[in-house]
Chain A
Amino acid sequence: MSTKRREPLDLLQGTLDLLILRTLIFGPQHGHAIARAIKHTSDHELLVEHGALYPGLQRLEERRWITGKWGVSDNNRRARFYSLTALGRKQLAAETSKWKRLATAITRILESEPAEG
């Protein structure tokens, strides 16, 4: 954990789905835990608004990439747990490779040296 706090980054359009799916690969989680996991794993760089998170979860569930089920938490509280579906795993793989290609491409452009004339 860095000591210096910076302003968190804005999420790029469409990346929230990818982050949720990725977070769920470690097992079922409830909504707030997903947000916290994204925050921690990104070293506080990415902050997920709850106002975006919960409708996002709903959207993914409607696409059948994740399923939500009411369960009981460690400390015996009711919570809605989300887990990846087979379709969701496939989607995650596809989205991950797409994202990596995009990131590599952008990095390449950003780090390119001026061509020698």
Chain B
Amino acid sequence: MFRRRRPVEDFAAELESDLQLEIDRLQEDGMSADEARAAARRAFGNTTLATERFFESHRWRWWDQLTQDVRYAVRTLRKAPAFAAAAILTMAVGIGATTAIFSVVDATLLRPLPYPDPGQLVSVIDDLTGVGSRDVGLSQPEWLDLERSGIFEHISPAWYDENNLTGASRPTTVRLTIVAPNYFALLGVQPQLGRAFPPRDRNPGFTGDAVISDGMWQRGFGRDPNVLEKSIRLDTDLYRVIGVMPPDFRPPGLTPDERSVDVWAATSFYGPPLLMHPPRNVRNIPGAIARLAPGLTVAAAQVRVDALVAALRQEYPADYPAAAAWAVRLVPLRDRVMGGTRQPLLLLLAAVAVVLVIGSVNVANLLLARASARGRELAVREALGAGRARLVRQLLTESLVLSFAGAVSAVVVLFVAQGVLMRLVPAQLPRLHAITIDWAVLLFAFSAALLSGAIFGLVPALHVGRVDVIPALKHEGRGMTSSAGHATTRRLLVVAECALSLVLLVAAGLLVRSFWSLLHERLGFDPERVVTVRTRLPYPNDTSVDKYPTIAQEAPFVREVLRRVRALPGVDSVAVGSSDAIPLDPAQRILGLFPMLIEGRGTEATQAPLVDGTVVTPGYFELLGRTLVRGRLFTDFDSETAAGVAVINEAAARKFWPSEDPIGQHVKLSRSATAWTTIVGVVTDARTESLQDANVPVIYASAYQRSQKHLAIFLRGHIDVATAADRVREQVQAIDSTLPVFGAQALSETVSTSLSDRRFAIEAVGLFAVTALLLAAIGIYGVIAYQVSERTHEIGIRLALGADKGTILRAILGQGLGLVAAGLALGLVCAVIVSRLMSGLLYGVHPADPATFIVVAAALTLVGFCACYIPARRAIRIDPNLTLRN
């Protein structure tokens, strides 16, 4: 039962009326009115205390005290606006930065994938570990075997591609994912309009249906509610629109393009345009996702998959030679999507947490200094009957008011600056769109404020617990309280600050060094004045309408493009290649793995190693400034009717012909090839596939000899990127008006974009490290300045007695630098550990790089010196006359 309490006024009224009754009685006994009143008051004693006690037994007393404390805290802080502003600003920076990074971590790493029961979703990855090839894709029979195994509720290939959308005003490309009909049932999502593919459909060929994204519905159909009766023409095939996915649906994918697909088409991966009976050993499906059977864990499923793989290898020994060691891996879908973002994000979160801790330490220092100065006030309050617990609570309330004021201002700034801040986040980050300031983020900011406020508030509050009232009251002036204890704590806090900022600076320094080494690596190609523009030839399912069924049609098209584009004003040279011939473009990883059979090695087709393969026209190497090492480059004579030729890089030569001359060697670059391709040239290694790794074997085939649908046109000269696409489009569409031309990019821009991930990490960690350094400097300055102000009197006397100014200066500096040195020693130990943990993020620099450590330590010492020097100089300028008179 919960009854309402008596109001305190009612209680006071009772006391008053009882007092009146006593006065009446005493008057009846014969006392005068005044005597009676005085006697009654004496008998009743302290009625205020009684009322107070009644009030204190109130259930909500703590709330009243809290509001009282908060009011008092706000009032006190208002009286010290500089202190309050400094503390709130420090907390706002710390909490704001931590919250901002947390919102990114929350959206990417913490929140589950936005599909029902996301823990059951896995990525299915095939490896040929025996020949060192990973993620090789799977064949249709393998997919069916896995589907029938009972391990999965659903398993669906996901084959990302681009397609030409024609029929609209201008041909464009759309992002397409080819899936099995059960794809949406697997993810557990429903269209907002219409229906998904019938999951059990296993008919040959494509279903002829398309599900489109909300964005596509908007762009292509202006949100027409009758879109379900319409068709779209992709690569000249007609698809019926059967469903529109909801606006917040994002499919899982490895690249930003895969995660923002426009159209889904469904097939069971056999029948035209594919083979009616796809062979088991042709793994043309790039990958699959699956939903595990209910109740099955990833580990348990992996055990069953391993058993299935063993059985299949036994059943089809010809397709699965033991040497290839075919294996199937299940990886939680989330891990696959998040990929390499985990480590940098966690580093950022750790870095920003360190900033928050240093900020808290600084505020703790400020509060401790204030607590010393307020010793007399606190002693008076204690003498007046405030309990120690109450005083501690009062100080804690003050610090919490500070941290919450900081948190609130931080969240307000984050809200206002959201748009600007989001632009700083690299676009490749998965689940970028999910980054918002939501309840989880607000809760985080709240907890950060609570925790930091409690930490920096407790240090001074606990010191108050040790206040000795009598000396504090007797002490003249401001009344110092246990200054020695305070000073020790403050010194320890400064040491901790120095150590933490050193760790952060080392981390930032190592990242900057890595970036620097990457920037100064020789690329092996010249990206300046090169612009790339893309186009794509259709690849219709209905082969009868295919205008480019073989290389005999493609090669003349490519030649015509070269002829026309070369004639454009400002163009010095031109080449065409497959879109993955664009160096360092992370979006162009659609195709580009050639199985390579080497003549005389006796390797079976299924064991052929997969090599990064690219298709280029003559002039490509010259245009990019690649250097020929041996043999020759492609010429116009390497045509569709001539014998097949290929060029390799030095890494491929080293890997496949370590002790032979690769020139003149014969290889087959597809499983179905009958004729041999001759290697005619070796070019120098270049960082075309990865900026970090020049040692990637690459094989180049002639664009007149090997079919390629995704094309990139390379132009070198004085070319305006903004108009390049339009000018090239005119020429390409003069040849074929159905082809889209898009994606004009300066190659130097592509190269620098490939560094954007790293740049973000460096900028963020660097910013945090500098913030930490500044905060630490403020901390050192605060401690030394406070000590100097405390010793003003003493220094004055010393100076008056003729002490040497230099000695005093050195003594003060020595004290400060002693703290810095202790911090450095502690920090170096921690930094060695931390830098080893982050070695995966480093490039071209040892985790214990002495140069970085020395520079960082020197920087910290210098900043520490300055922070000590300013107050120290003030100390020796003290006028002895002034201080002594005070």
Chain A residues contacting B50 (CB-CB under 8 Å) are: 50-51, 53-55
Is A59's CB within 8 Å of the partner chain B?
Answer: yes
Q: Which of A49, A54, A59, A77 has a CB less than 8 Å from the CB of B15? A: A54
B659 beta carbon closer than 8 Å to chain A: no
Q: Say yes or no: is B657 at the interface (Cβ < 8 Å to chain A).
A: no
* Contact for A73 among B14, B21, B43, B46, CB less than 8 A: B21
Report B47-63 CB contacts with A as 1/0, cut-off 8 Å: 10110011001000000
- Known contacts A31-B14, A58-B6, A58-B11; is-contact A50 B47 (Cβ 8 Å): yes
Chain A, residues 50-91, CB within 8 Å of chain B (1/0): the string is: 110111001100000000100001010111100000000000
How far apart sit A59 and B54, CA to CA, in the bound complex (Å)? 9
Which of the four size classes fits the interface of chain B? Answer: 20 to 34
Q: Give the chain A neighbours of B14 by CB distance below 8 A.
A: 30-31, 54, 68, 79-80
CA distance A30 to B49 in the complex (A): 19
Given the known interface contacts A49-B45, A51-B46, the answer about A32 and B24 at a Cβ–Cβ threshold of 8 Å is no
Pick from A55, A78, A79: contact of B54, CB below 8 A. Answer: A55
Distance from A44 Cβ to chain B, minimum over Cβ atoms (Å): 13
A32 near B21: Cβ-Cβ < 8 Å: yes
Report A-chain residues with C-beta under 8 Å of the C-beta of B44. Answer: 32, 50
- Interface membership of B19, Cβ < 8 A: yes
Query: Which residues of B from 1 to 41 have beta carbons under 8 Å from A?
Result: 6, 11, 14-15, 17-22, 24
Q: Is the CB of A32 within 8 A of B22?
A: yes
Query: C-beta contact mask, A29-48 vs B, less than 8 Å → 1, else 0?
Result: 01111000000000000000
Contact A77 B47 (CB under 8 A): no
CB distance from B17 to the nearest CB of A (A): 5
A58 with B54: CB separation less than 8 A: yes
CB distance from B6 to the nearest CB of A (A): 7
Other-chain residue from B6, B21, B47 in contact with A30 (beta carbon distance below 8 A): B21
Q: Which residues of B contact A80 (CB under 8 A)?
A: 14, 17-18
CB of A79 within 8 A of CB of B46, answer no
Report the minimal beta-carbon distance from A70 to chain B, rounded to whole angstroms: 8
Q: Is the CB of B57 within 8 A of A51?
A: no
* Nearest CB in chain B to that of A58: its residue: B54
Query: Complex Cα distance A58/B21, Å?
Result: 20
- The 8 A CB mask of B134-164 against A (1 = contact, 0 = none) is 0000000000000000000000000000000
Bound Cα distance from A93 to B580, whole angstroms: 97
B54 touches A77 (CB 8 A): no
Residues of B within 8 A of A75 (CB): 21, 24
CB distance from A81 to the nearest CB of B (A): 10
CB-nearest residue of chain B to A82: B14
Task: For the complex formed, measure the closest distance between the CB of B40 and the CB atoms of chain A, giving whole angstroms.
Answer: 9
Note all chain B residues with C-beta closer than 8 A to A30.
14, 17-18, 21
State A53–B11 Cα separation when bound (angstroms).
Answer: 12
Which of B6, B11, B18, B43 sits near A79, CB closer than 8 Å? B18
| B20 contacts A77, C-beta separation under 8 Å | yes
- For residue A78, give the distance in angstroms from its CB to the closest CB of chain B: 5
A79–B53 contact, CB under 8 A?
Answer: no
B54 & A32 in contact (Cβ 8 Å cutoff): no
The residues of B that contact A32 with a CB separation of less than 8 Å are 18-19, 21-22, 43-44
Given contacts A55-B54, A58-B6, A59-B57, contact A77 B21 (CB under 8 A): yes
Using A54-B54, A55-B57 as known contacts, say yes or no to A79 and B21 having CB atoms under 8 A apart. yes
Cα(A53)–Cα(B22), bound, Å:
15
Q: Min CB distance, A63 to chain B, in Å?
A: 12
Task: Give complex CA distance A51, B54 in Å.
Answer: 9
Report B-chain residues with C-beta under 8 Å of the C-beta of A79. Answer: 14, 17-18, 21
Contacts of B18 in A (CB 8 A): 30-32, 79-80
The answer on a CB contact under 8 Å between B57 and A58 is: yes
By a CB distance below 8 angstroms, the chain A residues around B57 are 55, 58-59
Closest residue of chain B to A55 (Cβ to Cβ) is: B53
Q: Which residues of chain A (4-44) have a CB below 8 Å from chain B?
A: 30-33
A79 to B22, CA, bound (A): 11
Closest-by-CB residue of B relative to A53 is B50
CA gap between A73 and B20 in the complex, in Å: 11
Is A50's CB under 8 angstroms from B43's CB?
Answer: yes
Q: How far is the CB of A97 from chain B (nearest CB, A)?
A: 28
Residues 728-764 of chain B: 1 if any A CB is under 8 Å from the residue's CB, otherwise 0?
Answer: 0000000000000000000000000000000000000
Q: Give Cα A58 to B14, complex, Å.
A: 11
Contacts of A53 in B (CB 8 A): 50
- Best-surrounded residue of A54, A58, A75 (most CB of chain B within 10 A): A54
Residues of B within 8 A of A54 (CB): 11, 14-15, 50, 54
**Interchain CB contact under 8 A, B17 and A77:** yes
**In the complex, A32 Cα to B103 Cα: how many Å?**
64
Closest 9 CB pairs of A and B: A32-B18, A80-B14, A51-B50, A50-B44, A55-B53, A54-B50, A51-B49, A31-B18, A79-B17
Q: Beyond A54-B54, A58-B6, A79-B17: 20 further Cβ-contacts under 8 Å?
A: A30-B18, A31-B14, A31-B18, A32-B19, A32-B22, A32-B43, A50-B45, A50-B50, A51-B47, A51-B53, A54-B11, A54-B15, A55-B57, A58-B54, A58-B57, A73-B21, A75-B21, A75-B24, A78-B17, A80-B14
* Complex A-B: 26 CB contacts under 8 Å: A30-B14, A30-B18, A30-B21, A32-B43, A32-B44, A49-B45, A50-B50, A51-B45, A51-B49, A53-B50, A54-B11, A54-B50, A54-B54, A55-B50, A55-B53, A58-B6, A58-B54, A58-B57, A59-B57, A68-B14, A75-B24, A77-B17, A77-B24, A78-B17, A79-B17, A79-B21
